[in-house]
């Protein structure tokens, strides 16, 4: 409380390096969907985290931020970070984002700063914690095509693409109240080797891991909120109850982290 008014929590939103304008000037950008969810559901102040690689001051960010949302992106995590083969020619990469966000993830998990990792953020979470990725799920045998539908219609691109099976008794099961939900699908990469300390919360019908929770690190158990989902709940939270609950649970964890004793994060209830 400052000057008689409530101070909202600061929510970091990861940016990508993108070129805009006639001259293709580099910019740090994040979709309005994440900003809107932070404003309208989480109840925090959105703070954009630049993709500035080794210049990122991770310690200062972690000292100041009360929660972190890792965004989706057209770019892919660089394969050198998980021992994978080079990307196919034309694959979008963003090494400046990799350099800023992977250390931020590890620091947030260690400190207990609430973390919600979405799509590319989900993949970053797995790599940061020691896992690896498949680069193109659609090229693997017995996998469905998880990539973005190349359709002009937003409803088609962002609409429900497949179901996921939710592991009984986990965080997502408690949140959804069911063992199956429908999700959108707009990604090429996916988890190959699951990182140590990550617990699977849900899988697609083809076995692709779609949701995880961080439960431990090499130094011990993790009691904070650190959740990753492969789909995009920020697209449909106004109409989809599960998508909305994901952001509500993140918001509850943020308020608990900032010292509001009246709020119990759902992550604690699932432990």
Per-residue DSSP letter, 2: B
Candidates 148, 103, 151; CA nearest to 124 is: 103
SS3 for 211?
strand
Catalytic residues: 119, 232, 234
Q: With b meaning 16 or more CB within 10 Å and e meaning fewer, what string describes 85-100?
A: eebeeebeebebbbbb
Tokens of 138: 């659609």
CB 166 within 8 A of CB 173: yes
Task: Let me know if 247 is exposed, middle or buried by CB neighbors in 10 A (0-12, 13-18, 19+).
Answer: buried
């Amino acid at each position: 409380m400052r000057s008689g008014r409530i101070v909202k929590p600061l929510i970091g939103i990861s940016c990508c390096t993108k070129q805009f304008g006639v001259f293709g000037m580099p910019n740090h950008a994040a979709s309005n969907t994440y900003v809107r969810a932070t404003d309208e559901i989480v109840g925090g102040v959105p703070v954009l985290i630049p993709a500035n690689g080794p210049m990122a001051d991770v310690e200062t960010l972690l000292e100041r931020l009360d929660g972190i949302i890792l965004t989706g992106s057209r770019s892919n995590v660089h394969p050198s970070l998980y021992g994978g083969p080079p990307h196919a020619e034309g694959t979008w990469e963003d090494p400046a984002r990799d350099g800023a966000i992977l250390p931020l993830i590890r620091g947030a998990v260690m400190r207990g700063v609430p973390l919600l990792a979405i799509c590319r953020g989900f993949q970053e979470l797995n790599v940061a914690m020691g896992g690896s990725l498949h680069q193109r799920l659609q090229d693997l045998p017995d996998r469905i095509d998880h990539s973005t539908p190349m359709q002009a219609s937003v409803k088609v691109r962002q609409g429900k693409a497949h179901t996921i099976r939710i592991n009984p008794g986990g965080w997502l099961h408690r949140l959804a109240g069911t063992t199956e939900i429908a999700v959108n699908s707009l990604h090429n990469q996916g988890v190959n080797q699951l990182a140590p300390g990550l617990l699977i919360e849900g899988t697609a019908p083809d076995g692709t891991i779609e949701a995880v929770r961080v439960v431990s690190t090499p130094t011990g158990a993790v009691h904070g909120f650190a959740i990753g989902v492969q789909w995009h709940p920020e697209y449909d939270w106004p109409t989809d109850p599960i998508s909305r609950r994901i952001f509500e649970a993140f918001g509850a964890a943020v308020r608990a982290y900032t010292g509001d004793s009246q709020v119990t994060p759902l992550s604690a209830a699932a432990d």
